[in-house]
A and B are shown apart, each in its own frame.
Chain A
Amino acid sequence: MAETRAKTIGQFLARQGILVAFVLFMIGFALANGRFLGIDNIMGVVRSSAILGVIALGVTFVVISGNLDLSVGSMMSFSTIVVLDLHDKIGPALAIPAMFAMTMALGALIGFLVGYLKLNSLIVTLGMLSAIHGLTLTYSGGKNMDIDDKAGTWFSFFGQDSVLGIPVPILVIALLAVLLSLLLSRTPFGRKVYAVGGNGVAATFSGIPRARVVFMCYLISAFCVAVAGLLQASRSLGSQNTVGQGTELDVLAAVILGGASLLGGSGTIFKTVIGVLILGFIQNGLLLVGLAFYVQYVVTWVIIILAVWLDIAAKRGRLLSPIA
């Protein structure tokens, strides 16, 4: 009896370990610093995680479909630079849709290469990381982009304003999370994404257009990147060419932390949001207790490995790998 209970607890810990760890962290930080669980602080964390979070929502689709996207960081710098540049040239009302179209065209290209031509997504998106970075630099001529009239544009609404006391970026990520979660968990398309990632061959044998599903996942990912680019541009109203660099790996860390398998077929939007929040709160908590931002890197490292390890250990029924 005691043994089975220990086993059940062990399984629970292994399965929900990431949530348990998250709660323990929150309690620890809350005890260490009274402001940690204050509403202002929580809003601040969510807001600063919004850009990473929005991208992670899109990448969740790509990862569940069994692929990777390493190009999201470059793609975000591209969309940020483009929208800032077009803002002064054609006005924000046209600049925003133009930027979305251009970013999603890049997503469509990747989706074509990975979905229809069946090229390895890691290498394709690695190549695109470099190529899009080059494209951005060519576009901007290597210069930083700035909006001329920073005070007089409504463009700052997305990154800086609030509605009903809630910052717009938070509203955006919340809305997007709800919509994409419905898309993924409740619609036929979402089911197809899981099937394609879970077993692509079986999906094909069930009449599911695998190539099109993968293509759509990259399109969704690019859409989310465009939203993130918009938030970033609107917040800063000016940008360097390197603004998104390295984001791809942080995003991937958040998605993995949420429990999505890199092999595809598992993960949810909700879990990804948890993953993003964990990263955000750890960073924030460490800062509040007076540790530098980079301590977060080390803590994230430990947490990622532990999270994935426990997940695997629960599946194979033993802690250590049996390989000799």
Chain B
Amino acid sequence: MTDIPALRLQDIVKTFPGVRALDGVSFQVMPGEVHALLGENGAGKSTLMKVLGGIHQPDEGKIFIAEQPAIMKSPLDAKSKGVVFIHQELSLADELSAAENIYLGELPRKSFGRVDWKTLYEKSDAILARLKCSFDSRKLVGDLSIANKQMVEIARALTVDAKAVIFDEPTASLTDAEKVVLFDVINDLRSDGVGVVYISHRMDEIFTISDKISVLRDGSYRGSLVTADTDEDEVTKLMIGRSLDSENPIVPAKKGPIALEVQGLSCGDLFQNVSFKVHEGEVVGFYGLVGAGRTEIAETLFGLRAPSAGKILLEGKEVKIASPIEAIGHGISLVPEDRKGQGLVLGMNCKDNMTLPQISDLTAGPFVSDGAEVAIFDQYRDRLQIKTPGWRQKVGNLSGGNQQKIVIGKWLSMAPKVLIVDEPTRGIDVGSKAEIHNLIRDLASQGYAVIVISSEMPEVLRVSDRVVAMFHGEIIREFTSDEVNEDNLVQAISGIRTTKVA
């Protein structure tokens, strides 16, 4: 092995309007090294990877491949220079075979532009065999399981002579057995002298596979650790930083009567037999991995999914909620997970977005009353400190934090009894994050019953009076804010049940 890094980033800066996404990040991976990259959502990991992959160009800083300066013009360019990505979301064509997907863009040719099927299948089968996949490369990708699709995605990376391979949360849809195979593949790459960057949230995986760990926080590089010489505590501290300790501890809420009670609620395979209560003036945090069923519970409460069993009680009375309109009528509001896809109409202005759910009531005669609308907008702009040039501004032009405040304002203006907030700070810069956290606490102290769904542990710990831990569609355990800590929460969402059930 040499001393020349396979891949080196130097002082990368990338800013977007309103956000400094990367603030002088340096990072390197040696040949034959597995380097884990950690950071919370919004810490800058994905931006860094997009810069590396040629989707974004850095404002400042340099990229070196084997110490040769390189400019990545496009994902293809990056691939041709030996930097290969394995993306979290699948980008496969369902109607093509696994082999065709593996060699997409580089199908072997014969005369008249014909596909050289024999070579294609031989090479693909060889790669799949290396990945210990049992399926035939002739099989259509549409007929494969999600895990096998992920394997096809990984197989793609192995078609070129890669200098560095970047895995972005590759195990999200894999079973334990498949993970073992994946780790074998990564070990193979390591022994072939390839530099591997491994992005993940899961501590256990990182400690199993990596040689080194680097941490990003708030768009800047916070240091590297040698895996063998460190432990989870140290990594966590680096990841979350000191700011967590310095934040004010939550003021326990004055609990009011029960606002929402859910009894034995199930929805097909998505979640089963879920029961919990939310009091007025209380924040209940739902924590779990992606796919644990948290968002689906929120969607069911909001009338977007039909429950297959169970009861929903509001202020003690059983209600049936068949649509968002009915949910709104019952005083339930949902700030959805996907801000741009579900929360906002990006082409509409701030005011129109904010008043959308109650537009039918803001009328003077048959027409919309501008005055009433602007009054609502002004009220929530001031209350939530939304920074926008005015209500005419298109929501698409605002920063993520201000967009999220528009969505929150939209639902607060409906004066809900129960407010459900799904991933309130996803993709939002740090300053706005703190503001939104404080806002959620304020709401509780004003007597709202609030449910916060989050994948970020510090967030859940920061805002919740109680924490519900979910795993595979079930509630594993409920914690009070006194009991809960990072260790028992991590255990709970990994499916480890403890005898001490609250």
A touches B (Cβ under 8 A): yes
Which residue of chain B lies nearest to A182 when distances are taken between CB atoms in the complex?
B367
Pick the interface stretch among A136-144, A167-175, A198-206, A240-248: A198-206
Contact B342 A187 (CB under 8 A): no
Distance between A79 CB and nearest chain B CB, rounded to angstroms: 27
Q: Which residues of A contact B39 (CB under 8 A)?
A: none
Contact A188–B363 (Cβ < 8 Å): yes
By beta carbon, the residue of chain A nearest B348 is: A198
Q: From known contacts A188-B359, A201-B342, A205-B334, infer whether A194 and B348 are also in contact, taking CB-CB under 8 Å.
A: yes
B contact residues around A192 at 8 Å (CB): 359
Nearest A-chain residue to B352, judged by Cβ: A191
Task: From known contacts A194-B345, A199-B341, A202-B342, infer whether A207 and B325 are also in contact, taking CB-CB under 8 Å.
Answer: yes
Centre residue among A182, A208, A209, A265 by max chain B CB count within 10 A = A208
**A5 — which chain B residues lie within 8 A by C-beta?**
none
A201 touches B348 (CB 8 A): no
Q: Is the CB of B347 within 8 A of A266?
A: yes
Which partner residue on chain B sits nearest A264 by CB separation?
B347
Question: A201 contacts B341, CB within 8 Å?
Answer: yes
- Chain B residues numbered 363-399 whose CB sits less than 8 Å from any CB in chain A: 363, 366-368
A195 within 8 A of B: yes
Shortest Cβ distance from B423 into chain A, in angstroms? 14
Question: Given A205-B324, A206-B324, A206-B356 in contact, is the A187-B368 Cβ separation under 8 Å?
Answer: yes
In the bound complex, residues from chain A placing their C-beta under 8 Å from that of B362 are 188
Whether the Cβ atoms of A209 and B345 lie closer than 8 Å is no
- Residue numbers in B under 8 Å from A191 (CB-CB): 352, 356, 359, 368
CB-CB contacts of B325-365 with A at 8 A, as 1s and 0s? 10110000010100001111111100010001101101100
B274 CB to nearest A CB, Å: 21
CA A266 – CA B410 in complex, angstroms? 22
Q: Among A202, A206, A207, point to the contact of B341 (Cβ < 8 A).
A: A202
Q: What residue in chain B is nearest A200 (Cβ atoms)?
A: B345
B71 at interface by CB-CB < 8 Å? no
Judge whether A318 is part of the interface by a CB distance below 8 angstroms. no
The CA of A188 and the CA of B372, in the complex, are separated in Å by 13
Inside 8 A of B367's CB, which chain A residues have their CB?
182, 186-187
Residues in A with CB closer than 8 Å to B240 are none
With an 8 A cutoff between CB atoms, is B262 at the interface? Answer: no
For the complex, is B209 an interface residue (Cβ under 8 Å from A)? no
B368–A188 CB distance below 8 A: yes
B346 near A208 with CB under 8 A, answer no
Given contacts A201-B341, A208-B356, contact A186 B346 (CB under 8 A): no
Decide if B344 touches A199 in the complex (CB within 8 Å). yes
Q: Is residue B96 within 8 Å, beta carbon to beta carbon, of the partner chain?
A: no
A166 and B35 CA atoms in complex are apart in Å by 79
Nearest opposing residue in chain A for B326, CB measure:
A207
Task: Check if A198 sits within 8 Å of B347, measured CB to CB.
Answer: yes
Looking at chain B, what size class is its interface with the partner chain? 20 to 34
B408 to chain A, nearest CB (A): 13
**Minimum CB distance partner of A261 in chain B:** B347
Once A and B bind, how many residue pairs between them come within 8 Å at the CB atom? 71
Give residues 171-223 of A contacting B (CB, 8 Å): 182, 186-188, 191-192, 194-195, 198-199, 201-209
C-alpha spacing A182/B366, complex, angstroms: 10
Inside 8 A of A209's CB, which chain B residues have their CB? 323, 325
Q: How far is the CA of A22 from the CA of B142 in the complex (A)?
A: 50
| B327, B328, B344 — most chain A CB neighbours (10 Å) | B344
Q: Is B457's CB within 8 Å of the partner chain A?
A: no
Known contacts A188-B362, A195-B356; A207 and B324 CB within 8 A of each other:
yes
Q: In this complex, what residue of B is CB-closest to A189?
A: B360
Q: Which residues from B are CB-within-8-Å of A207? A: 323-325, 327-328, 357
Q: Give residues of chain B (75-90) contacting chain A, Cβ–Cβ below 8 Å.
A: none
A186 is contacted by which of B324, B325, B327, B368 (Cβ under 8 Å)? B368
Q: Which residues of A contact B368 (CB under 8 A)?
A: 186-188, 191
For the complex, what is the distance from the CA of A156 to the CA of B347, rounded to whole Å? 45
Are B324 and A198 closer than 8 Å at their CB atoms?
A: no
| Neighbouring A residues of B304 by C-beta, 8 Å | 204-205
CA A202 to CA B336, docked complex, whole Å:
9
**Contact yes or no, B343 A202, CB < 8 A:** yes
Alpha-carbon distance between A201 and B304 when the two chains are bound, in angstroms? 11
A199, B325: Cβ atoms under 8 Å? no
Q: For residue A183, which residue of chain B has the nearest CB?
A: B366
Say whether, besides A187-B367, A191-B352, A191-B368, A205 and B347 are in contact (CB < 8 Å). no
User: Which of chain A's residues have a CB closer than 8 A to the CB of B325?
Assistant: 207, 209
Interface string of A272-305 (1 = CB under 8 A from B): 0000000000000000000000000000000000
Do A199 and B357 form a contact, CB below 8 Å, given A187-B366, A188-B368, A207-B327?
A: no
* Docked-complex contact A198 and B346, CB < 8 angstroms: yes
A266 to B394, CA, bound (A): 13
Q: B357 and A195: CB pair below 8 A?
A: no
Considering the complex, which residues of chain A in the window 46-86 have a beta carbon less than 8 Å from any beta carbon of chain B?
none
Q: Are B366 and A203 in contact (CB under 8 A)?
A: no
B17 to nearest A CB, angstroms? 14
Nearest CB in chain B to that of A204: its residue: B324
- B-chain residues with CB within 8 Å of residue A203 when the two chains form the complex: 345, 356
Residues of A within 8 A of B324 (CB): 204-207
Chain A residues near B344: list those with CB within 8 A.
199, 202
Q: Give the distance to chain A from B350, nearest Cβ to Cβ, in Å.
A: 14
| Shortest Cβ gap from B53 to chain A (Å) | 16
Chain A residues near B363: list those with CB within 8 A: 187-188
A143 to B342, CA, bound (A): 52
Chain A hits for B328, CB < 8 A: 207
| Bound: A198/B19 CA distance, A | 26
Question: What is the minimal beta-carbon distance from B372 to any residue of chain A, in angstroms?
Answer: 12
Distance from A150 Cβ to chain B, minimum over Cβ atoms (Å): 40
Q: Is the pair B345, A202 in contact by a Cβ cutoff of 8 Å?
A: yes
- A97 CB to closest chain B CB (Å) equals 24
CA distance in complex: A191, B372 (Å): 15
Q: Which residue of A lies closest to B356 (CB)?
A: A206
- Are the C-beta atoms of B336 and A205 separated by less than 8 Å? yes
Are A195 and B336 CB-contacts (below 8 A) given A187-B367, A188-B360, A209-B325?
Answer: no
10 nearest A-B residue pairs (beta carbon):
A198-B345, A186-B367, A207-B324, A206-B356, A199-B345, A188-B359, A188-B360, A207-B328, A205-B342, A198-B347
Besides A194-B345, A202-B342, A207-B323, 9 new A-B residue pairs in contact (Cβ under 8 A), listed by A number = A186-B367, A198-B347, A198-B348, A199-B341, A199-B346, A202-B345, A205-B334, A207-B327, A209-B325
List 12 A-B pairs, Cβ < 8 Å: A186-B368, A188-B368, A195-B345, A195-B356, A199-B347, A202-B341, A202-B342, A202-B344, A206-B356, A206-B357, A207-B323, A208-B356
